[in-house]
């Protein structure tokens, strides 16, 4: 039997509880907290998050990042764990009464929790005194669009990171502000840059299940590419010790891969000449860095079939969505073939055309994402503290 979940007592009544359930959300929430500390120093902040929030000064009461899952099949498999965690978090909030709660992305868990807090009369829209704030909107523009009406009944304000998202909520009374994307904030270091002749970057994702599905294909693609370009090496960024351990396991399973592929932490400064990336947050980061590449993704077959039925947009990669064109061609499911991807790497690295196009796209993306807005997200949140 697994040990029961125990959430620690806060050092004092928290001014803010942050709930961030994924690696990217943990990073964005940490950046928000850094900015918020400059505007409102001395805040007591608790969090369900990960290492980044802990480093930013939050008391992490549960490491939700290490337990993040994606896809319907994975959620069902871990249902018992998340049900117990949900009840423990709701009880913790009832007992310790944070003065405000900021949910960061992770809608499956966060919106259910918001609904519980409204029903129990703890949240403002349930007659209580805890404002419920939401940073980084669920992708209602892709699927589950009707979710916006539920959000309007539960939340007190929404801070969005893509400018087109404001229009998605125009038929509701939910206050929505575009607060700029954290990747284009003045003090944000992408940690990535393009350099001709630099290693190939392989980014299989931040969650264990997608990494296990995608990374073997990326390894094979790079080895096929390397057979023709013997001077090249590859770098893989890992976001957590758990992902690093899995990457090491998969590299060890492929003869010859260990000598060609180097693992580095996700916050390392990296120069790359091309990239094969999953469709998550890192795909936008490499696009903003102007590194040419391809998007590769494989989901559980059931999740993929249901997703294709429900998702309304033509692309997975957010840079492609923002630019409304396939600046990063996407190879999904069976199309994510190592031989094909090896040929794509050769196309990218032959000549300078791909790099020049990627640099031009990066400039356009920065403008779209609100480059130059300073502390906008912290100023939005500070109004409720």
pLDDT in tens, 330-348: 998 778 899 999 999 999 9
Map out the domains of the chain with their CATH numbers: 16-180+372-382 (3.40.50.2000), 192-368 (3.40.50.2000)
* The predicted structure's pLDDT at residue 335: 80
* The predicted structure's pLDDT at residue 108: 87
pLDDT in tens, 190-247: 899 999 999 999 999 988 888 999 999 999 999 999 998 777 799 999 988 889 999 9
CA angle at 361 for the pair 358 and 367, rounded to the nearest 5°: 145
User: Cα–Cα distance between 80 and 282 in angstroms, integer?
Assistant: 30
pLDDT in tens, 83-126: 888 999 999 999 999 999 999 999 989 999 999 999 999 999 99
Beta bridge partners of 16: 45
* The predicted structure's pLDDT at residue 229: 79
* The predicted structure's pLDDT at residue 144: 80
pLDDT in tens, 347-382: 999 989 999 999 999 999 999 998 877 789 999 999
User: Cα–Cα distance between 275 and 218 in angstroms, integer?
Assistant: 10
R_g of the chain computed on alpha carbons: 21
Q: For residue 135, with 0-12 CB atoms within 10 Å meaning exposed, 13-18 middle and 19 or more buried, which class applies? A: buried
């Amino acid at each position: 039997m697994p040990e029961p979940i125990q959430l620690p007592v806060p050092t004092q009544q928290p001014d803010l509880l942050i709930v961030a359930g994924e690696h990217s959300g943990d990073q964005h929430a940490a950046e928000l907290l850094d900015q918020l500390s400059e505007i409102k120093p001395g805040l007591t902040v608790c969090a369900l998050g990960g290492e980044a929030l802990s480093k930013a000064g939050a008391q992490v009461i549960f490491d939700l990042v290490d337990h993040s899952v994606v896809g319907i099949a994975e959620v069902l498999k871990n249902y018992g764990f998340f049900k117990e965690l949900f009840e423990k978090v709701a009880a913790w909030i009832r007992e310790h009464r944070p003065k405000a709660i900021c949910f960061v992305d992770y809608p499956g868990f966060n919106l259910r929790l918001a609904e519980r807090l409204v029903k129990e009369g703890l949240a403002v829209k349930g007659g209580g005194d805890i404002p419920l704030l939401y940073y980084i909107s669920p992708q209602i523009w892709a699927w589950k669009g009707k979710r916006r009406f539920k959000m309007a009944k539960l939340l007190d304000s929404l801070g969005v990171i893509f400018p087109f998202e404001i229009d998605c909520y125009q038929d509701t009374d939910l206050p929505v502000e575009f607060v700029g994307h954290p990747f284009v904030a003045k003090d944000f270091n992408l940690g990535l840059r393009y350099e001709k002749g630099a290693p190939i970057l392989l980014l299989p994702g931040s969650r264990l299940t997608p990494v296990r599905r995608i990374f073997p294909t990326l390894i094979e693609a790079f080895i096929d590419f390397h057979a023709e370009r013997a001077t090249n090496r590859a770098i893989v960024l890992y976001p957590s010790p758990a992902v690093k351990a899995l990457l090491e396991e998969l590299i060890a399973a492929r003869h010859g891969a260990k000598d060609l592929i180097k693992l580095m932490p996700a916050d390392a400064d990296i120069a790359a000449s091309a990239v094969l990336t999953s469709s998550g947050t890192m795909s936008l980061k490499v696009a903003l860095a102007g590194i040419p590449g391809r998007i590769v993704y494989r989901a559980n077959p059931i999740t993929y079939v249901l997703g294709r039925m429900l998702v309304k947009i033509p692309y997975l990669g957010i840079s492609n969505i923002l630019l409304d064109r396939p600046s990063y061609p996407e190879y999904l499911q069976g199309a994510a073939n190592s031989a094909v991807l090896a040929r794509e790497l050769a196309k990218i690295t032959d000549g300078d055309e791909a790099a020049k196009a990627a640099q031009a796209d990066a400039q356009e993306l920065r403008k779209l994402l609100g480059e130059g807005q300073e502390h906008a997200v912290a100023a939005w949140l500070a109004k409720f503290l």
